[in-house]
Structure 1
Amino acid sequence: MITREATEKDLDILLEFEQGIVTAERPYNSTLIEGEIHYYDLLQLIKSEDAFVIVAEEDGEIMASGYAKIKTPANNYSDFDRYAYLGFMFVKPEHRGKGINKLILDELIKWAKSKGLSEIRLDVYAENESAVKAYEKAGFESLLVTMRMKV
């Protein structure tokens, strides 16, 4: 298995992965609209100098994806001026449990460090216990819980 930077040629499978993420997240978010949703501008991310889209591939099959994007904090009181935001973490169901997500995470963290970043963040639904545990195992810690109320 190899990891590599995604290209425009990978866009069709990456769009399928995006819908896989949406499907997986629907049980955790009752506010998602019905039908096809696009969280990401994947083509823009692939082309951006401030983002790194990666795939894991074996024997020509793309099995997983993720991205890191350089962002600036929304405040002026953090002890960092830029950070890497991770997203688009997806592993095909039949390949889960093989350490592929950790491989993707490691490559994204390596990219962030190469850009001189010392802070890495991501969002995960608190109820998605398996994902929370996986990120904690990789060294992440919970920082903030978003609360909501429908009125």
Structure 2
Amino acid sequence: MDGIKTRRATTDDLPVLDNFLQLLVDAERPFDETIKEGKAIYYDLRMLIESDDAELLVLDKDGTLVGCGYALIQKAKSYLKYREYAHLGFMYVVPEYRGMGLNQRLIDGLKQWVLSKGVREVRLEVYEDNTAAVKAYEKAGFKKLLSTMRYEIR
């Protein structure tokens, strides 16, 4: 089809994934003025690769990574109906490969992994002003649940 394979990330992928992480941070800075300047680390990528409670998938086009995303099983708050859920994050597709349904392919692969772990609740966070990402997640079946608000006291 498009020659792009979805596979589990390996530690050999870490240099490219580290770069993807900084590209993601740079893309999110316009939505969040509280992200510090310079290198910012959102995730422990090695842990996501090595943990039994996480699945980090990459999109591989002929040996070149063009996207990634992870699912991490986490304990739920005691007041919720479920005991654990999967948090999706690090959803990134290289700009020239966007609009090809690759984000959906990543989400589908992560959902399969989540179900294989016996978990049915999946959550993620997205900046409300990132309308392209919001639309992509809504297309994948996600619904808005809660807004985080902030105020800086000066």
Q: Which runs of 5+ in 2 are unaligned?
A: none
Q: Which secondary structure state, in structure 2, belongs to the residue aligned with residue 133 of structure 1?
A: helix
2:6 aligned residue: 3
| Aligned residue runs from structure 1 range 1-151, under 5 A | 1-73=4-76, 75-151=77-153
Distance 1:3 1:43 in 2: 18
Question: In the alignment, residue 82 of structure 2 is paired with which amino acid?
Answer: F
Question: In the alignment, residue 73 of structure 2 is paired with which amino acid?
Answer: I
Distance 1:45 1:137 in 2: 26
TM-score normalized by the length of structure 2: 0.96
Q: Which secondary structure state, in structure 2, belongs to the residue aligned with residue 135 of structure 1?
A: helix
1:44 shift after superposition: 1.0
Cα RMSD, aligned residues only? 0.6
Distance 2:33 2:131 in 1: 17
Question: In the alignment, residue 10 of structure 2 is paired with which amino acid?
Answer: T
Q: Which secondary structure state, in structure 1, belongs to the residue aligned with residue 135 of structure 2?
A: helix
1:61 shift after superposition: 1.1
Distance 2:9 2:113 in 1: 14
Aligned length: 150
1:50 shift after superposition: 0.3
1:45 shift after superposition: 1.0
TM-score normalized by the length of structure 1: 0.98
Distance 1:118 1:47 in 2: 22
Identity %: 49
1:62 shift after superposition: 0.7
